[in-house]
Amino acid sequence: MLAHLCTTSLTLYILWITMAQVDGQDDKEKTTALKDLLSRIDLDELMKKDEPPFTFPKTLEEFEYAFNEDGQLRHINTGEPFVFNAREDLHRWNQKRYEALGEIITQYVYELLEKKCNMTKASLPVDASEDEPTSFIYLSPDALSNPSKLLVLIQGSGVVRAGQWARRLIINQDLDSGTQIPFITKAIEEGYGVMVLNPNENYLEVEKPALSSTLPSPTELSDEPAEKRERKEDKESKKKKEFYGKYRNPQKETETERIPIRENGSSEEHVLYVWDNFVSNAAAKNVFIMAHSYGGLSFVELMNQRDMQVKNRVCAVALTDSAHNIWLQETSKGTQDWMQQHCCNWVSSAEPLDTPLEAVLPDCPRVSAGGERSAYITCKPAVLHTARTQQGCVCV
């Protein structure tokens, strides 16, 4: 900021000196001299800002935010909600700050699962070596031993981790809106074992090592035609130049690479792995599944892979704004018929709760979630009621 002000002041000073020098000339000559001077000043460069370093607080307290008694994130001094645009015209920095807060929120929700819900982590893969990347899910104390009923929660895609439905809602609304905590506590009260999946924890991200100068570049190893590769490189170079040109001193991001977690490299792999190693070993006679958005797609893929196992164990499935597609996922007629009987998809809608909606595909009934907000929020009473009424069902 100081450098920016100094540069601006220097430019104005030069302009003032120049105008003083032409003070004795007539108006036409003055105008010509001024235009000549302005033509030599890069105003875009003059208005550029220095991009601040990507260094952010590591705790909520350092961010000066806290959750109040209503579960709302508020500034500890002003009581105001979180402000995304902390610095004007610095979108990338604001986004990085938001992501840093999101990582803190993730750890906060883990603490709630452990302290408030009395859940424990179970590592994945179950036979992981000491030096390979791992993930985890959360289990209630009786998740594997409860003889009667087990609730399995699967969230959608993106940055959300175990215990979360939507990070945005946690930050901008409250914990009840954005986390799975209300479902978990209610289910435990009603005697369910609970299993919280973590389908988006698919890899370990590590900093890329510096490449040796003796190693060939990735482009040298590419099978792409040279002309096509050059066009792609020119396009990427132009894109980077346009972006970094917005700032006088842009911050360079650390280059990283992702190491996949074995047998958990995608949401679909994760759900299948948890089924094979945890759900199938659980004692519960009846398994009830709730899946949101992409979690619904992952569940349907599980059915494609473990058709009879799912039909024999799962009593009912509550989907919310599910992203599945039985045609693209090539589900069998038998699976579609089973879904008609055992699944229900609550969809964000202005219609009253549980109002039947027009079917899009011949798989499972679609009903209104009772509001335009995220379906898992507004349909919570209906989902839990469905779980209760399906406890005595006969699995097919």
| Residue-level pLDDT, tens digit, the chain, 396 residues | 444 545 555 555 555 555 555 555 566 676 776 666 666 555 454 445 677 788 899 999 999 999 999 999 999 999 999 999 988 878 888 899 999 999 999 999 999 999 999 999 999 999 999 999 999 999 999 999 999 999 999 999 999 999 999 999 999 999 999 999 999 999 999 999 999 999 999 999 888 876 644 444 444 444 556 565 566 656 665 555 555 455 656 677 778 899 999 999 999 999 999 999 999 999 999 999 999 999 999 999 999 999 999 999 999 999 999 999 999 999 999 999 999 999 999 998 888 888 899 888 888 999 988 877 665 665 555 565 665 555 544 333
CA distances from 78 to 74, 82, 111, 264, 273 (A): 8, 11, 26, 43, 46
Q: Are 166 and 374 within 8 A, CB to CB?
A: yes
Q: What pLDDT is stored for residue 392 in this prediction?
A: 44
CATH of domain 102-203+262-389: 3.40.50
CA dist 165 and 377 (Å) reads: 9
Nearest to 163 by CA among 131, 146, 140: 140
Q: What pLDDT is stored for residue 2 in this prediction?
A: 47
Q: Structural domain boundaries of the chain? A: 2-47, 102-203+262-389
CA dist 130 and 149 (Å) reads: 34
CB-based burial, 280-293: b 16+ in 10 Å, e otherwise = eebebebbbbbbbb
DSSP 224: S
CA dist 302 and 267 (Å) reads: 10
Name the pairing type of β-strands 65-67 and 73-75.
antiparallel
Q: Is 322 among the residues known to form the active site?
A: no
Q: Are 119 and 183 within 8 A, CB to CB?
A: no
Query: What's the per-residue H, E or C state across 111-125?
Result: HHHHHCCCCEEEEEC
CA dist 303 and 314 (Å) reads: 10
Amino acid at 37: L
Q: What are 390's two structure tokens?
A: 């399906």
Q: What are 279's two structure tokens?
A: 């759900």
Q: What pLDDT is stored for residue 53 in this prediction?
A: 80
Q: What pLDDT is stored for residue 42 in this prediction?
A: 52
10 Å CB burial of residue 324 (0-12, 13-18, 19+) is buried
Catalytic residue among 140, 177, 267, 293: 293
Amino acid at 168: R
